[in-house]
Structure 1
Amino acid sequence: MLVRADDASVDFVIADDGQGFDVARATGGDGFGLTTMRERTESVRGRLCLESRPGEGTRVTVHLPRTAPARSRVEELTA
């Protein structure tokens, strides 16, 4: 695992030299949890990048901005 950071963002890079897989053939529900990871990453304005090739391993990069997304305004309701 590698972590890179600057004033604007943080990148987490996780790589292995395992069996890899064909990214073009991957579909939701393959058991990797990548859909959930992507949704969570995008919910904070981040990006998830996936690189993999059969027989060559996989590399996942999670890019997160250092600034928090603007929170929606919640108004108190009184009864």
Structure 2
Amino acid sequence: MATVTNWIDHLNKPAEEVVGAVYPGAGSVEGILVIVGIILWVGWHVLTAKSESEELDRLARKRHSANDHKSNITDW
């Protein structure tokens, strides 16, 4: 965790003297959060694609006719 007591001195230092990030959690924590985020993102896409495919397959098996809309079928 960064402990900056004097921001003016800290900001006026040359880049070679500044060591580490100014905010907490930099480094391995960020990397872990990025990996977890990517896993959740890909997992969400896989689950969504699977559920949409199942729903489309279910609707395709019903084989609605051209006049089903006249019967007011709710699950069109």
Tell me the TM-score normalised to structure 2 length. 0.23
Q: Which has the larger radius of gyration?
A: 2
Higher relative contact order (CA 8 A, sep 6+): 1
Q: Pick the structure with more helix per residue.
A: 2
Q: Pick the structure with more strand per residue.
A: 1
